[in-house]
């Protein structure tokens, strides 16, 4: 693979994603070091690179205003790869995933308390945590999503976590579910999380695993390569490096899964083969589409805590 020089000034690159055109105007630096990067491949026009020094994989450029990507269309799109096919129809299934994660948090923490969900989207996890007895709130960069969440009764702040300057040492748990890969400066966000956690407080994180079997086998066809949306791709090694750089104590990682329906799976498999779209339609008509099951989809979970 060829080695590409570091980008030193503004660049303009157009990324073609089905249904949306993203113009990136700034280079996306390595979040862990200043090492040179090597080109891996292009996905939908975007160059995916890996750092020669630390191994962190990333998109070479990023949008100037990432928050603008997550408007109303993001939560109901026909794009089989990016966003959500229908966030609202999947809410009941997502609830099963969130309940499972809350049980894991409560088992590890030993109690309930104050929880902050970073990347709260439309507030589903915040509301689920509230219903389970947590004092829960969220942070969301999308003004559209945050407003919808507040309209549903969730406490959700709008903006980047590190710019909101919430009171320190406030939360027993902070969650980052399918969020860190979207961030323009993930280490800065992790540092802010360390400040916000009480001593001994937990971070629970879920993100795609670029070091996993699916990513290595599918290479540029890996579903989680989403230009403009996913900016960084972590392995357990690089994720641990980011967490420890933020002064958090690494507690370990494992494979992560989610509850899915056959309809959702067929919708996403349309990215690889169009006939799956027909199965999606048949599933709805013959009523086997809502069948729900737990599946590992190339993601990992990690645990960390603020030192006592």
Domain assignment present for residue 51? The answer is no
Domain assignment present for residue 2? The answer is no
For residue 26, list its beta bridge partners.
62
pLDDT above 70 for 268: no
Domain assignment present for residue 79? The answer is yes
| Confidence at residue 251, expressed as pLDDT on a 0 to 100 scale | 98
**Which of 69-73, 149-153, 179-183, 292-296 comes out lowest in average pLDDT?**
69-73
By percentage, how much of the chain surpasses pLDDT 90?
A: 63
| Distances in whole angstroms, Cα of residue 114 to Cα of each of 43, 110, 187, 221, 299 | 40, 13, 23, 40, 26
| Confidence at residue 114, expressed as pLDDT on a 0 to 100 scale | 98
What CATH number should be reported for the domain holding residue 203?
3.40.50.150
Three-state SS for 177?
Answer: strand
Q: How do residues 177-196 score in pLDDT, each as one tens digit?
A: 999 999 999 999 999 999 99
d(CA 210, CA 233): 6
Domain assignment present for residue 8? The answer is no
The two three-digit tokens of residue 271, written as one number: 């990215």
Domain assignment present for residue 92? The answer is yes
pLDDT above 80 for 132: yes
Longest dimension (CA), the chain: 56
The structural domain count of the chain equals 1
Domain assignment present for residue 38? The answer is no
CB-count burial class (<10 Å; 0-12, 13-18, 19+) for 215 = buried
pLDDT above 50 for 249: yes
* Range 237-266 average pLDDT: 90
The two three-digit tokens of residue 289, written as one number: 């589409």
**Which of 71-80, 105-114, 264-273 comes out lowest in average pLDDT?**
71-80
| Confidence at residue 291, expressed as pLDDT on a 0 to 100 scale | 73
Confidence of residue 88 (pLDDT cuts 50, 70, 90): low
| Confidence at residue 200, expressed as pLDDT on a 0 to 100 scale | 97
Domain assignment present for residue 266? The answer is yes
CB-count burial class (<10 Å; 0-12, 13-18, 19+) for 260 = buried
Higher pLDDT, 21 or 243: 243
d(CA 305, CA 268): 34
Domain assignment present for residue 142? The answer is yes
Average confidence score pLDDT of the chain: 84
Range of the domain at 246: 66-305
**Which of 40-49, 121-130, 247-256, 292-301 comes out lowest in average pLDDT?**
292-301
pLDDT above 50 for 7: no
């Amino acid at each position: 693979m060829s080695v590409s020089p570091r980008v030193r000034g503004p660049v303009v690159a157009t990324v073609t994603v089905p249904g949306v055109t993203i113009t990136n105007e700034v280079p996306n630096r390595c979040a862990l070091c200043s090492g040179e990067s090597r080109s891996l491949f292009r996905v939908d026009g975007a160059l995916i690179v890996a750092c020669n020094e630390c191994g962190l994989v990333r998109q070479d450029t990023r949008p100037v205003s990432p928050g603008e990507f997550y408007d109303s269309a993001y939560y109901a799109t026909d794009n089989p790869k990016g966003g959500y096919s229908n966030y609202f129809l999947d809410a009941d299934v997502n609830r099963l995933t969130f309940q499972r994660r809350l049980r894991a948090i409560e088992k590890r923490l030993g109690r309930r308390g104050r929880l902050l969900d970073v990347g709260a989207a439309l507030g589903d996890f915040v509301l689920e945590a509230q219903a389970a007895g947590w004092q829960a709130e969220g942070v969301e960069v999308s003004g559209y999503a945050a407003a919808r969440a507040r309209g549903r009764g969730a406490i959700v702040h709008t903006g980047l976590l590190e710019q909101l300057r919430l009171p320190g040492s406030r939360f027993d748990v902070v969650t980052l579910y399918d969020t860190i890969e979207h961030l323009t400066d993930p280490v800065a966000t992790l540092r802010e999380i360390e400040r916000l956690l009480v001593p001994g407080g937990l971070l629970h994180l879920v993100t795609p695993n670029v070091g996993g079997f699916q990513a290595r086998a599918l290479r540029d066809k890996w579903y989680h390569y989403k230009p403009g949306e996913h900016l960084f791709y972590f392995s357990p090694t690089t994720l641990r490096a980011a967490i420890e750089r933020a002064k958090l104590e690494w507690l370990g990682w494992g494979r992560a899964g989610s509850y899915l329906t056959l309809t959702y799976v067929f919708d996403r498999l349309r990215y690889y083969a169009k006939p799956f779209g027909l199965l999606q339609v048949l599933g709805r008509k013959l009523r086997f589409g809502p069948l729900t099951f737990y599946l590992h989809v190339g993601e990992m979970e990690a645990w960390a805590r603020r030192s006592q």
